[in-house]
Amino acid sequence: MFNFTTICESVKRHWIAIVLITALALVAGAGSSFVKSGKVETAATYTAEASLYVTGYGYDENARQGGDYNYEFNENTMMNDVRRIIVSKEVAAQIREEYGEDITITTPDWKDTSTKTSWTTRFCFIDVTAEDPDLALKVADEVANKVCDVAKETVPLSQVEVFDSAALKATDNSTANEWGTADLGVEDSAESVASRISMKSLVIYVFVGLCVSIFGFAVYDIMSRRVRSANDAERLLDIPVIASLGATEKSPMLAEDVRVLMKRSGLSSLAVVGATEADGAGNVAAMLEGVQVSGAFDLSKDTKGISTIAESDAILLSVKEGAASGKQLENALKQMKISGTPVLGVVFISKK
């Protein structure tokens, strides 16, 4: 039967193994967390940033009278158009074809747009990342100038010019540099994240290790069906335990208890049996001084003893911790049932 008592007894028997498994799970959790958050080694790269200043038609009287498309009504559209030119085939693709596929060209926002609803600016930023700082600076300036030329021919702009020439940036590449407040310097993108252990991973690994070990051993104990405690004897055999003894213990009270039980039930003779020889039926019989014992029998071998057991008034079953297998216990119960003799109780003998 799988219940709370079974689990508690299994934990008591296998607590050392459970502690070891849980400790291994703890180490595995720490190792997994350490690897995931550990240092990531990549080649050093450098990012250069240039900026453009852009205005659309609508900022002078001639433009208003000319009826050209007026970007002033939607400057977001104007900036999106220019940024699209930066990463277009005419600009980014041609530059990468000339300088190599390792060149990365991006156009970051001035601020983090995920936390700010709107940032109005007519500045457009160009980031070029390369493994060589001089190459990054050169390509960034070339991209800025090329964007100006293509934009003037493609979209209705009143003005587009390079405002800041390329400089190495020190801020995160996801946003444009904070000019004047952020120190300009070499940006090394080799990511060195401080290795740390996640408490969440530790808790999960320890919980899984603890549950798997506890329930695993409990299932093992049930499947192996060996009597490992007095409670096991009562649960598996459905016979009350009248005495629980140590491996070498000789209890003078056992004989007295058995005599009282036999007298109360009107019994005169007793057969002591064990499912196996290791169950120690003979040792238990030797303790029963003053009790009429018809014999001590090993039911795994002594099949002729059934007739003697049948002639006795009661049976006393001797069970030693872990001695008999489930099949041997079933065989003993079957033979006792065949004899038709009532069972007085179980004497459980522990290994210690």
**CATH number for the domain that contains residue 284:** 3.40.50.300
**CATH number for the domain that contains residue 103:** 3.30.70.600
Q: Is residue 293 part of a domain?
A: yes
Q: Which of 181, 203, 223 is where one domain is finished?
A: 223
* Cβ-based neighbours of 45, under 8 Å, separated by 6 or more: 129, 130, 131, 187, 188, 189, 190
Instruction: Give the per-residue SS3 of 159-185.
Output: EEEEEEEEEECCCCCCECCCCCCCCCC
Q: 3-class SS at 265?
A: helix
Six token digits for residue 227: 């009597």
d(CA 168, CA 64): 40
Q: Name which of 190, 184, 180, 172 is nearest 112 in CA terms.
A: 172
Q: Is residue 177 part of a domain?
A: no
Q: Is residue 301 part of a domain?
A: yes
d(CA 351, CA 206): 32
277 with 301: CB under 8 angstroms? yes
Q: How confident is the model at residue 302 (pLDDT cuts 50, 70, 90)?
A: low
- Strands of the sheet containing 241-245, edge to edge, are 241-245, 343-349, 314-320, 270-274, 293-298
Same domain for 68 and 28? no
Q: Is residue 189 part of a domain?
A: no
Taking the CB of residue 352, how many other CB atoms lie within 10 A of it? 7
Same domain for 151 and 232? no
Same domain for 59 and 104? yes
Q: Name which of 333, 326, 299 is nearest 226 in CA terms.
A: 326
217 with 70: CB under 8 angstroms? no
Q: In this model, does residue 344 exceed pLDDT 60?
A: yes
Q: 3-class SS at 123?
A: strand
Q: Name which of 22, 29, 27 is nearest 213 in CA terms.
A: 22
Same domain for 91 and 128? yes
Q: Is residue 264 part of a domain?
A: yes
Same domain for 202 and 266? no
Q: How confident is the model at residue 289 (pLDDT cuts 50, 70, 90)?
A: confident
Same domain for 291 and 310? yes
The total of structural domains in the chain comes to 3
Same domain for 282 and 219? no
Backbone Cα Rg of the chain: 44
Q: Name which of 45, 47, 46, 50 is nearest 143 in CA terms.
A: 50
Same domain for 96 and 207? no
d(CA 310, CA 314): 9
Same domain for 126 and 203? no
Same domain for 241 and 340? yes
Lowest mean pLDDT among 32-36, 142-146, 175-179, 300-304: 175-179
Q: Is residue 71 part of a domain?
A: yes
Same domain for 16 and 120? no
Six token digits for residue 141: 């300036």
Positive or negative CA dihedral for 93, 94, 96, 101?
Answer: positive
Q: In this model, does residue 90 exceed pLDDT 60?
A: yes
d(CA 18, CA 10): 10
Structure confidence by residue, pLDDT tens digits, 179-220: 544 444 444 443 443 446 778 888 899 999 999 999 888 888
106-115, 136-145, 172-181 — which one is most confidently predicted on average? 136-145
Q: Is residue 187 part of a domain?
A: no
Same domain for 296 and 326? yes
User: Which residue range is the domain that position 56 belongs to?
Assistant: 46-168
Q: Pairing between strand 314-320 and 343-349?
A: parallel
Helix and strand numbers (H, E) in the chain are 11, 9
Q: Is residue 181 part of a domain?
A: no
